[in-house]
Amino acid sequence: MLSLWPIDPVPDQADPWHSDPMTSDVATICSELISLDTSNYGDGTGPGEASAAEYVEAFLRGAGLQPERFQTTSATRQAVVCRIPGQDPQAPGLVIHAHLDVVPAIAADWSVPAFEGTIHDGMVWGRGAVDMKDMDAMILTVVQQWQSHGIKPRRDIVLLFLPDEEAGGRHGAHWVVENRPELLEGVTEGIGEVGGFSVELANHMRLYMIETAQKGLAWLRLKASGTAAHGSLIHDDNAVTRLARTISRIGEHRFPIQLTPPVQEFLEAACDAAGVPFDPSDPEAVIGQLGPAARMIGATMRHTANPTMLSAGYKSNVIPGEAQAMVDARFLPGLEEDFFAQFDALLEPGVTYEPQEKDISLQTTFDGDLVAGMTAALRAEDPHAIPVPYTLSGGTDAKALSLLGIRCYGFAPLQLPADLDFTSLFHGIDERVPVSSLEFGVRVLDRFLRDA
């Protein structure tokens, strides 16, 4: 059983600026970043991340640092790196990785402009507000305050702002790992997005979700073959119907529950906090305690495979000889072979597939000095915080960085209102983040990163 209180809260630091003035700029920075359209369409047609990279470089230079802005695969795909020297040059470094791209937004769907960074009703609105220009802004705010007050972290911290996370990182994190690994020389640990946010249980206990694992990714292109023929004939060898049967079977299939260690650890901690027993034979029973977060946690108990695209034919009276579909598959950490064995059994004869994008799963343990530091920083700002490990149903740039032996966690701390359906805002309509949550995150990151 995971202990809910392994560390005593850290007393408030005595810094005179460790208060409201420290966080006053974060909402403005977040708004300005959102106003820079860095939509990633996944096919190379978007505006790229150069405008945001230029903003970050100028901001860091204005704070007195020496960042490097560089292009990866083209002039529009740009990244920024900046190493902040620590007090102990012998200590291994820590990377904070953040991405500058966002998924596209359809303007007609939104009640506010998606790329203006509007601030109203105590929220910063716009595409990227939670994924992940909020974290970009929190990082910049902390660093600016450190520079203003002569603060040095315990060890070297590498800031890495990347392009192309939303399309798999081939133009971003993976490119850096393959072409500029020296940027991360001496780095052994890292933090990034989709972790550290609060989830309030039905009994009002607050869990803070620290991401320790990620499901693997496989975007699969399915192809069904058949015999081309005139549409007026009786025809049994039809690629479209063959593919349709397969896609229907995949879309309706529910993979069995398989509890990986970090998922079971999370469920045990959530049950403990909720005051209900954990029943390993019925792990979904606790999901009802989690509110909107239940969707994301539920997806980490099993493999998933969802059809997302279909294409076939070129004329209404011609039966095509081939039909294609795309499936977004996510497999549990350590169970890739198991997933594909189950997936293969769902295919009709004559249907094949090949990965269009594939990435590893990720898993680490919820222990060590870094986890202790996250826990202490959270409890210093929220004495009732219950930090727990969890598995991300998607993926981040941490997968690429882990190939360099870097132990990665998701930690972008936010204390959220209980009634905010936060997980639905990732890639969602009217994406927004509370200003108070950003300010909380700045304070937690400052405490954590000084001594990490």
Residue 393: is its pLDDT beyond 50? yes
Same domain for 343 and 365, yes or no, is no
Which H or E run includes 198?
A: strand 197-200
Helix (H) or strand (E) holding 229: strand 229-230
d(CA 450, CA 184): 19
Highest mean pLDDT, choosing among 113-117, 286-290, 291-295: 113-117
Q: How many CB atoms lie within 10 A of CB 42?
A: 16
Question: Do 240 and 323 touch, CB atoms closer than 8 A?
Answer: yes
CA proximity to 257, closest of 338, 373, 179: 338
**Token code pair at residue 337:** 């072979």
Q: Are residues 149 and 226 in the same domain?
A: no
Of 19-23, 239-243, 351-355, 383-387, the range with the lowest mean pLDDT is 19-23
The full DSSP string for 139-189 is HHHHHHHHHHHT---SS-EEEEEES-GGGTSTTTHHHHHHH-GGGGTTEEE
* Statement to judge: residues 200 and 333 lie in one domain: no
Helix, strand, coil % over all residues of the chain, rounded to 5: 35, 25, 40
Region 306-324 average pLDDT: 95
Output the average pLDDT for the chain. 92
Distances in Å between the alpha carbon of 96 and those of 72, 103, 169, 265, 372? 19, 21, 16, 25, 17
Looking at residue 6, its pLDDT comes to 33
Say if CB 336 and CB 216 are below 8 A apart: yes
Please check the confidence at residue 285 and state whether its pLDDT lies above 90.
no
For residues 88 and 104, give the distance between their C-alpha atoms in angstroms, rounded to a whole number.
Answer: 42
Mean pLDDT across the stretch 156-164?
98
Residue among 417, 221, 204, 217 at smallest CA distance from 299: 217
Q: Work out the average pLDDT over 191-217.
A: 93
Is 7 contained in some domain? no
User: Which domain, by its residues, includes 322?
Assistant: 216-359
Task: Please check whether residues 196 and 50 belong to one and the same domain.
Answer: yes
Rounded to an integer, the average pLDDT of 90-111 is 97
Provide the pLDDT confidence category of residue 21 given band limits of 50, 70 and 90.
low
For residue 20, pLDDT over 70 is answered with no
Residue 90, domain member (yes or no): yes
- Considering the domain architecture, whether residues 349 and 233 belong to the same structural domain is answered as yes
- CATH code, 159: 3.40.630.10
When pLDDT is averaged across residues 69-85 and rounded to a whole number, the result is: 98
Among the candidates 322, 341, 359, a domain finishes at: 359
The predicted pLDDT at position 8 comes to 36
* CA 109 and chain centroid, separation: 23
Report how many domains make up the chain. 2
As a dihedral over the C-alpha atoms of residue 19, residue 22, residue 27, residue 33, rounded to 10 degrees, the angle is -160
Q: Are 207 and 225 in the same domain?
A: no
Instruction: Tell which of 344, 359, 374 closes a domain.
Output: 359
Spatial CB neighbours of 324, under 8 Å, sequence gap ≥ 6: 221, 222, 223, 224, 243, 310, 311, 312
Pairing mode of beta strands 123-125, 432-434: antiparallel
Do 118 and 170 lie in one domain? The reply is yes
The whole-number average pLDDT for the span 148-160 is 97
* Edge-to-edge strands, sheet with 123-125: 119-120, 123-125, 432-434
User: pLDDT exceeding 90 applies to what percent of the chain?
Assistant: 81
Domain membership flag for residue 145: yes
Reported confidence tier of residue 11, pLDDT bands at 50, 70, 90: very low
Confidence of residue 289 (pLDDT cuts 50, 70, 90): low
What is residue 202's predicted lDDT score, i.e. its pLDDT? 79
pLDDT of residue 119: 97
Reported as a pLDDT band with limits 50, 70 and 90, residue 1 is very low
> Beta strand 77-84 with 157-162: parallel, antiparallel or unpaired?
antiparallel
Q: Is residue 15 part of a domain?
A: no
Q: What is the pLDDT of residues 318-349, one digit of tens each?
A: 999 999 999 999 999 999 999 999 999 999 99
Closest CA to 437 of 13, 4, 30, 10: 30
Asked whether residue 116 carries a pLDDT value surpassing 60, the answer given is yes
- Quick check: is 338 in a domain? yes
285, 290, 296, 300: CA torsion to nearest 10: -40
Is the pLDDT score of 10 beyond 50?
no
User: Residue 108 carries which DSSP code?
Assistant: G
Per the CB < 8 A criterion, the answer to whether 194 and 208 are in contact is no
pLDDT at 151 over 80: yes
Q: Point out the least confidently predicted range of 19-33, 158-172, 424-438.
A: 19-33
On the question of pLDDT at 18 being above 90, the answer is no
Measured distance CA(22)–CA(19) in Å, rounded? 6
Do residues 126 and 116 lie in contact, with contact meaning Cβ atoms separated by under 8 Å? yes
Q: Can you give the pLDDT at residue 19?
A: 42
* Direct distance between the N- and C-terminal alpha carbons of the chain, in angstroms, rounded to an integer: 26
For 58, the token pair is 């100028």
Per-residue b/e over 200-233, b at no fewer than 16 CB within 10 Å?
bbeeebbbbbbbbbbbbbbbbbbebebeeeeeee
Domain stop point among 359, 381, 415: 359
Lowest-pLDDT range, 20-34, 273-287, 360-374, 409-423?
A: 273-287
Judged against a pLDDT cut of 50, whether residue 16 lies above it is answered with: no
- The pTM of this model reads 0.89
Please indicate, yes or no, if residue 1 is contained in any of the structural domains: no
pLDDT for position 180:
98
Kindly tell me if the per-residue pLDDT of 17 is higher than 70: no
3 pLDDT band (50/70/90 cuts)?
very low
